[in-house]
């Protein structure tokens, strides 16, 4: 299992030169707004595929008026130590992210680190997850899938690429039928797989939530479902292809594709009665924390993966329910935590094995 032992930032965001060593259990970063707490969580999240917790453009990571950022971290994976460097460089006229493991950038080394590390995170905007756009909810679930299947983002990217190619062709006055048939076939195959991944993920979450509720006194029962007028259990390659074919005319006018997993929403039914969008922001935070805890249990028990939790501004709306959830996570899970908040005193309910870092003073 992986733990982050140390992180050194050079020209990353607001940090010129910065270094912190971490506790293998709980790390609490506190300090004024704008001191760089979220930036530190972001730098940790970059030790993985992708562009980190904010999905930011690479250029934004580089400290203003500088050319290159460097995140050097020390990881402990199954009692061995690894030095990981992450930096940007120019390739094909744009910035690209590079990663080196013990100074080696071979695919094997990278895959080893990617498969050993898994992050789950909470961001303040998730307090409105069920009032935000459907894409926020899709991304939330997709990141859960990515937490145990590092190839899943490739599937999503390919699917989007095929949709984009089909849109381009539909705009032409002369349509190459062979090419569009090929694309629709690929869209259907990839689309079905995405539906299947998401459906499985939601079934797992629903089950884990039930188990959690049978052992603990949490505020909500939660039932997640895909909401999508096109998706049903009879959907297969043949009827998917027919539907895509039939929507060519309208897709030509409106652009994109009107059916498929990129149009799905995820709905969350609370206590069998109402939708989570009716909850207050603090209550939505309870639901999100329950889902994160459920996913932790799923990863640890079913996938034998020990995630690292990055919980940003976690102490707002911390009523008894959210406090219990947070203490249950920290006390019951043997994984590493990074928490942020504006004041040290907000975290006084967490006592064991904690390091505090005052970011304002650094
Ligand atoms: N590329 C950059 N260069 C310099 N400063 C940056 C860059 N990107 C963000 N910042 C600064 O980082 C600060 C925000 O840090 P953040 O981690 O969001 O703070 P908080 O402690 O509130 O979470 C802001 O003051 C912002 O101007
Ligand atoms: Mg912040």
- At 17-31, the pLDDT tens digits run 999 999 999 999 999
63 alpha carbon, closest ligand:
1
E strand intervals along 219-361: 222-227, 265-270, 274-275, 308-311, 337-341, 354-358
The residue to which tokens 């950022």 are assigned: 69
Nearest-atom number in ligand 1 for the CA of 40 is 17
In a shared domain, residues 288 and 342: no
CA of 277 to the centre of ligand 1 (A): 31
Percent of the chain with pLDDT over 90: 94
Which CATH number do you get for residue 203?
1.20.1050.90
Q: Which atom of ligand 1 is nearest to the CA of 32?
A: 21
Q: Which of 280, 304, 328 is the last residue of a domain?
A: 304
Helices (H), 233-280: 237-246, 248-254
In terms of domains, do 201 and 109 share one?
no
Q: How many domains does the chain have?
A: 2
Residue 276 sits in the same domain as residue 135? yes
Alpha-carbon span 120 to 310, nearest angstrom: 6
**Closest ligand (CA of 312):** 2
Buried b (16+ CB within 10 A) or exposed e, 320-343: ebbebbbebbbeebebbbbbbbbe
Same structural domain, 100 and 81: yes
Q: What's this model's pTM, rounded to 2 decimal places?
A: 0.96
Same domain, 114 and 140: no
pLDDT tens for each residue of 207-254: 999 999 999 888 899 999 999 999 999 999 999 999 999 999 999 999
DSSP, residue by residue, 126-176: GGGTTTS-HHHHHHHHHHHHHTT-TTHHHHHHHHHHHHHHHHHHHHSSS--
Domain range for residue 162?
126-304
Give dist(CA 324, CA 283) in Å, integer. Answer: 13
Pair (162, 228) in one structural domain = yes
Region 273-295: mean pLDDT is 97
Residue 238 and residue 175 share a domain: yes
The answer to whether 283 and 266 are in contact (CB under 8 A) is: no
Q: Which atom of ligand 1 is nearest to the CA of 36?
A: 17
Residue 66, ligand 1, Cβ within 6 A: no
Helix crossing, 152-171 with 177-215: angle to 10°? 140
Q: Are both 16 and 82 inside the same structural domain?
A: yes
Where does a domain end: 275, 304, 333?
304
Output the six-digit token pair for 330: 């920290």
188-214 tens-digit pLDDT: 999 999 999 999 999 999 999 999 999
Q: 297 and 311 share a domain? A: no
pLDDT in tens, 125-135: 999 999 999 99
Could you tell me if 158 and 81 lie in one domain? no
Together in a domain, 207 and 174? yes
Residue 171 shares a structural domain with residue 37: no
Q: Distance between CA atoms of 25 and 336, rounded to whole angstroms?
A: 4
Across-strand partners of 7?
20, 73
Strand pairing class (2-12; 70-77): antiparallel
Beta strands (DSSP E) in 59-112 are 70-77, 80-91, 94-101
What 8-state DSSP symbol labels residue 62? B
DSSP label at residue 125: G
**Residue 341 CB–ligand 1 contact under 6 Å:** no
Tokens 């020390």 label which residue? 74
Q: Residue 359: which CATH number?
A: 3.40.50.300
Q: Is 35 in the pocket of ligand 1 (CB under 6 A)?
A: yes
Token pair of 133 as six digits: 């756009």
Q: Which of 288, 304, 320 is the last residue of a domain?
A: 304
Q: What's the chain's length in residues? A: 362
Q: Is the CB of 63 under 6 A from ligand 1?
A: yes
Ligand 1 within 6 A of CB of 14:
yes
């Amino acid at each position: 299992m992986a733990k982050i032992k140390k992180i050194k930032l050079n020209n990353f965001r607001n940090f010129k030169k910065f270094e912190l060593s971490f506790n293998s259990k709980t790390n609490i970063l506190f300090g004024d707004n704008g001191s760089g707490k979220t930036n530190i969580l972001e730098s940790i999240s970059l030790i993985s595929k992708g562009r980190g917790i904010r999905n930011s453009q690479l250029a934004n990571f580089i400290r203003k008026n500088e050319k290159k950022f460097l995140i050097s971290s020390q990881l402990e994976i199954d009692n061995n130590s690894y030095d990981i460097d992450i930096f940007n460089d120019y390739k094909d006229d744009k910035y690209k992210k590079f990663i080196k493991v013990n100074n080696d950038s071979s695919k094997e080394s990278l895959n080893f680190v990617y498969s050993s590390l898994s992050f789950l995170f909470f961001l303040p905007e998730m307090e409105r997850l069920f009032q935000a756009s459907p894409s926020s909810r899709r991304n939330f679930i997709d990141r859960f899938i990515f937490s145990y299947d590092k190839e899943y983002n490739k599937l999503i990217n390919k699917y989007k690429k095929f949709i984009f190619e089909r849109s381009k062709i539909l705009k032409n006055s002369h349509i190459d039928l062979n090419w569009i048939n090929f694309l629709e076939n690929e869209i259907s195959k990839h689309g079905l797989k995405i539906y299947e991944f998401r459906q499985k993920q939601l079934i797992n979450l629903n089950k884990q939530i039930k188990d959690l509720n049978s052992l603990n006194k949490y505020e909500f029962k939660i039932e997640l479902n895909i909401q999508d007028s096109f998706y049903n259990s009879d959907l297969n390659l043949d009827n998917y292809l027919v539907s895509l074919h039939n929507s060519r005319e309208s897709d030509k006018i409106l652009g994109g594709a009107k059916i498929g997993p990129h149009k799905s929403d995820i709905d969350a039914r609370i206590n069998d009665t109402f939708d989570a969008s009716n909850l207050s922001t603090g209550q939505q935070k309870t639901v999100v924390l329950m889902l994160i805890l459920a996913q932790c249990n799923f990863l640890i028990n079913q996938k034998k993966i020990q995630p690292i939790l990055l919980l940003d501004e976690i102490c707002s709306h911390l009523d008894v329910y959210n406090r219990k959830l947070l203490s249950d996570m920290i006390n019951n899970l043997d994984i590493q935590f990074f928490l942020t908040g504006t004041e040290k005193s907000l975290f006084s309910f967490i006592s064991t094995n904690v390091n505090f870092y005052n970011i304002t003073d650094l």
